[in-house]
Amino acid sequence: MLDFDNVSAVRGTTTIWSDGTFTVPTGAVAGVIGPNGSGKTTLLMMILGLLRPGSGTIKVLGQVPQRGDSRIGYVPQNYASIAGDSIRARDMVLLGLTGATYGMRRTSREQHARVDQILGEVGAADFAGRRMSQLSGGQQQRVAIAQALVSNPQMLLLDEPLANLDVRNQQEIVALLARINTERGIGILLVVHDLNPLLSVLDGAIYLLDGHAHYDSVDEVVSEELLTHLYGTAIKVVRTAQGDLFTRSA
């Protein structure tokens, strides 16, 4: 899915991280973790083709990142915008299909059907006619995922999809993402602050540590030594008798 070869992330004249050489396997569910300011958003911008790497080469789905790549579905952070009271959920999803089209064209029956199908797939059909501002955080996140999915991407990129959600909604969104991953067979990359809600579905994680970027499988990432170093506070990894894995502050 992602091939990084000696990549450095540069904003202006500041190098945020360097020596990024790793491969994220196709179809993986991968987290992006690192302390605030470590360059997670910069990484996303480079994958989306909005920012060039300072050095090295990036391949996304086998190609150099390009702005407007329809093979990537993107869900940004802070989804609910100021415009939330001025747009319905299904129009929001429709924009994911037709929003980059210039000229006046009627939305076709096929496009409407496609929107309906995706709304059903993410469990948003019941509230599709409501305005975004009338939806809960979890519902808004479903609509955002539907908008990203509606153009049939080969990978999903989500920036903090679990922020501001309660535990139940977090679990539901994680379950939805896991289902999308298996049913559609597409890779998912998500920036997260807390690994715990995702540990059951993650294959691995890109972690940004000490100005460098690495990728490891989840078993290696979830080590007390690494996480403690990463967040600069003592972290304990606990495995329950049922085999569940979680981390907590020691």
Partner 1 sequence: MHLATAVQFQSNWVEILASPFMRTAFIAGVLVAVASGLIGYFVIVRGSMFASHALAHIGFPGATGAALVGTSVFAGLVAFTVVGAVAIGLLGKRANDREVATGTVLAFATALGVLFASLASTNTSTVTNILFGNLLAIPPAQLVVFAAFLAILAAVLLAIFRPLLFASIDPAVAEAKGVRVKGLGITFMILLALVVSMAVTVVGVLLIFALLVTPAAAALRFTARPGWVIFWSATIGVASVAVGLVIAAMFNLPPSFFIVSVVFVLWLGAAGMRRERAAAKPAGGHG
Q: Is 168 exposed, middle or buried (0-12, 13-18, 19+ CB in 10 A)?
A: exposed
Contact between 33 and partner 1 (CB under 8 A)? Answer: no
* Residue entry with tokens 């990537």: 72
Interface size with partner 1, residues (CB under 8 A):
37
Residue selected from 1, 28, 43, 48 as contacting partner 1 according to rule CB under 8 A: 48
Residues 198-217: x where in contact with partner 1 by CB under 8 A, - otherwise, as a string: --------------------
Q: Between residue 69 and residue 128, which ones bind partner 1 under the rule CB under 8 A?
A: 70, 72, 74-76, 81-83, 85-88, 90-92, 95-96, 98-104, 127-128
Nearer to partner 1, 81 or 228 (CB): 81
DSSP 111-180: HHHHHHHHHHHTT-GGGTTSBGGGS-HHHHHHHHHHHHHTT--SEEEEESTTTT--HHHHHHHHHHHHHH
Nearer to partner 1, 97 or 201 (CB): 97
Q: Considering the complex, what minimum distance in angstroms separates the CB of residue 215 from partner 1?
A: 22
Distance from C-alpha of 36 to C-alpha of 178, rounded to nearest angstrom:
26
Give contact residues for partner 1 (rule: CB under 8 A). Answer: 48-50, 67-68, 70, 72, 74-76, 81-83, 85-88, 90-92, 95-96, 98-104, 127-131, 134, 147-148
